[in-house]
Every structure is written in C-alpha cells, then in structure tokens.
Chains A and B, each alone.
Chain A
Amino acid sequence: EAQVTQNPRYLITVTGKKLTVTCSQNMNHEYMSWYRQDPGLGLRQIYYSMNVEVTDKGDVPEGYKVSRKEKRNFPLILESPSPNQTSLYFCAIVGTGHTYEQYFGPGTRLTVT
C-alpha cells in the first residue's frame, strides 16, 4: 500500500526564517504534489512533479519552492515564510494503474508568527 510521510507534523516559526517540509513515499510513484488547506478555501495545489527533475506550478506557487532530485522525496521549501503561509500542508502521490487516485500524507500544520 502506498504510504506518504511528512515531517515535521507541526511547526511554529517566525517571519523570514527559511524552512523545509519533507515528503517521502515508500513506492516508486512518479507523481507527487503539495497542497495547502485553508478554511473556506479548500485544498489548493502549490506545486506538482511528474518525475525526477520535472516540476510545475499549481494554483498558488508564490512564496514556495520545490525540488525533485530523487523519486521518493519531494520537499517543500519556504525561503522567507510570511504569516499568510500559516496553513495545513498536505503532500500527495498518485498511485499506479491509471486510476489517478491521490494518496495524502498526514499533514503539516505550519504557523508563521
């Protein structure tokens, strides 16, 4: 079964202090994605990656960076976090078999003060 892990699960930081949220998968899935979830706004895709070294913007990429140097990892980088990036972040992968079903990680709750 596909598993997605995120670290840390909770993070409180200050404005401007660079941070990275890691995402790892236990299978060899090609597609990985990052979302933020905010009350009243649902899930919004930040970035996605279709394979190693292939990334593309989602709906809300501003203020975020990603990298995909190896298949199993897809870290989300906030170079200079701001309070409006306080949110619940989910990493997801798409399973195999052309069902396009996404498997979500447990979430990372980020607070930027």
Chain B
Amino acid sequence: AQRVTQPEKLLSVFKGAPVELKCNYSYSGSPELFWYVQYSRQRLQLLLRHISRESIKGFTADLNKGETSFHLKKPFAQEEDSAMYYCALTPYGGYQKVTFGTGTKLQVIP
C-alpha cells in the first residue's frame, strides 16, 4: 500500500521567512513524487516533481529515500505563495494509482 502524510494542516509564516512544508511517504517500491498547488478558487496545478530537480517559483524539494520524505522548501515566503499544497505519490513509471496527502494550507502574513 502507498501512503502520503502531510502532518500540518495549516502553516502560518511571515513574509520573508523561510517555508518548509513537510511530506512523508510510505511505499515499498520506487516512487514518483510531486507537489501540487491550489490557489484560491483555482484548479490544482503541478508545482514540481522530484525527477526534474527543478526550482519553480523559488520552491525546491529533495527526495530523501532514507527518511522517506519529500519536503517542500522556499527561503523567503511571498504573500502570493498563500495556497493549499498537496504532496502526491505514484509508483515509478507513472500511469498508475496516485495517492495525495491531505494538504497543508500555507498562510503568508504580510
């Protein structure tokens, strides 16, 4: 079975402060991991995926297989980062079952 855990329902930070959204996963095989973002009243959109190792909107995430984590980080939060963030897992190779975490609401305080 595959599982994704996002322990924080709400994370409030001040503008300019560092952000870390936690994601832990459980899966016996090799996972593909993603972060999706949902801005207010918009559909979900991909933020980044671990296989590309890219930085989008200043966010990065590193897959730590030893700790089975894929935490999302940004050094300086901006007000426009306020949104719901979801971590997601699918087995390596994609095109299979996808499991999302319960999401973390990021609130950036001006």
Contacts and interface: CB of A to CB of B under 8 A. Distances in A.
Given A31-B95, A58-B97, A42 B46 contact: no
Contacts of B100: 35, 42-45
Contacts of B9: 40
A35 B98 CA distance: 10
A104 B33 CA distance: 17
B69 interface: no
Interface stretch (A17-25, A66-74, A75-83, A95-103): A95-103
Contact of A33 (B6, B49, B98): B98
* Contact residues of B: prevailing secondary structure: loop
Contact of B52 (A43, A44, A90, A99): A99
Interface string A9-29: 000000000000000000000
Contact of A106 (B6, B43, B88, B97): B43
Contacts of A94: 94-95
A42 B44 contact: no
Given A44-B100, A104-B44, A107-B43, A98 B94 contact: yes
B57 to A, nearest CB: 16
B70 to A, nearest CB: 14
Given A90-B44, A102-B46, A106-B43, A42 B101 contact: yes
A43 B101 CA distance: 7
B43 A105 contact: yes
Contact of A104 (B45, B94, B102): B45
Contacts of A105: 43
Nearest to B95: A31
B97 A48 contact: yes
Interface of B: 6, 9, 32, 34, 36, 43-46, 49, 51-52, 86, 88, 90, 94-103
Closest 5 CB pairs of A and B: A100-B94, A42-B102, A43-B100, A104-B43, A42-B103
Given A35-B100, A102-B34, 5 more contacts: A43-B100, A45-B99, A48-B96, A100-B49, A104-B45
